[in-house]
């Protein structure tokens, strides 16, 4: 293994392992930071590739945080995918395991719901920042923002529907808009 590969793996670990422990509210809270690190700081992906990889990760099954796997794969092949995934999932998983043991005893304590209630607004702001990072990176023009707004309203109104059909309809709509305008 040559030196530049090792440097890359260390950079992937250095970016994703800390984010793993900061992802309160799930993988969606750290989209904005993943964007900043992988596009602006390390240039692993371009703006356009970032948006595309995000789209792929949302169209695929599984947790949305697998987005990280794709970025690792894009910049470092199979090993990159493995290193990025392990960096993102192992630290938070070890923490979850440790805290889960505590939760059995403290789950119904008032301080738990107090802290939870205090962190929800921060998760809310972070998740919005993630959506903003994706939309402002996209080169699709005004139709991108309209599609996002309509989709958000739709998913707000019907919270139980499977999002996948809507995502694909949106893809076709955007393709048609680009073909005609």
Partner 1 sequence: MERPENPTCAELFLTFAKASATGFGGVLPFARRMIVEEKRWLSEEEFADLFAFCQFIPGANVVNLAICIGARYRGPMGAIAGALGMLVPPMLVILLLGAFYVQFGDLPLAKGVMRGLGAAAAGLVVSVALRLGLTFRAKASYLFAALAFGAIALWRIPLITMLAVLAPASIGWQWVVRRK
Among positions 42-71, residues that touch partner 1 (CB under 8 A) are: 51-66, 69-70
92 counts as binding partner 1 under rule CB under 8 A: yes
How many whole angstroms from its chain centre is CA 4?
Answer: 26
- Shortest Cβ distance from residue 3 to partner 1 (Å)? 26
- Shortest Cβ distance from residue 50 to partner 1 (Å)? 9
41 counts as binding partner 1 under rule CB under 8 A: no
- Shortest Cβ distance from residue 9 to partner 1 (Å)? 17
- Shortest Cβ distance from residue 94 to partner 1 (Å)? 9
Residue 30's closest CA among 117, 172, 165, 130? 130
Structure tokens at 1: 């293994």
C-alpha 112/C-alpha 96 separation (Å) is 15
Q: What angle do CA 80, 84, 89 make, to 5 degrees?
A: 150
Residues 109-148 as x/- pattern, contact with partner 1 by CB under 8 A: ---x-xxxxxxxxxxxxxxxxxxxxxx--xxx--xxx-xx
Q: Which of residues 95-114 bind partner 1 (CB under 8 A)?
A: 95-97, 99-101, 103, 107, 112, 114
39 counts as binding partner 1 under rule CB under 8 A: no
Distances (CA, A) of 87 to 69, 84, 171: 10, 5, 31
C-alpha 116/C-alpha 142 separation (Å) is 37
Query: 2 vs 162, which CB is nearer to partner 1?
Result: 162
165 CB neighbour count, 10 Å cutoff:
9
Query: 6 vs 167, which CB is nearer to partner 1?
Result: 167
């Amino acid at each position: 293994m040559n030196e530049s590969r090792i440097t890359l793996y260390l950079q992937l670990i250095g970016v994703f392992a800390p984010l793993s422990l900061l992802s309160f509210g799930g993988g969606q809270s750290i989209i904005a930071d993943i964007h900043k690190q992988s596009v602006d700081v390390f240039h692993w992906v371009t703006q356009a590739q970032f948006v595309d990889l995000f789209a792929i990760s949302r169209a695929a099954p599984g947790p949305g945080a697998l987005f990280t796997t794709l970025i690792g794969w894009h910049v470092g092949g199979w090993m990159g995918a493995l290193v990025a995934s392990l960096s993102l999932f192992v630290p938070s998983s070890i923490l979850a395991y440790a805290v889960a043991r505590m939760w059995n005893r403290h789950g119904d304590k008032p301080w738990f719901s107090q802290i939870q209630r205090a962190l929800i607004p921060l998760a809310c702001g972070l998740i919005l920042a993630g959506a903003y990072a994706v939309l402002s990176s996209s080169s699709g023009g005004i139709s991108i923002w309209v599609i996002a707004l309509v989709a958000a309203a739709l998913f707000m109104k019907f919270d139980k529907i499977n999002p996948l059909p809507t995502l694909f309809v949106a893809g076709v709509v955007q393709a048609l808009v680009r073909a005609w305008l």
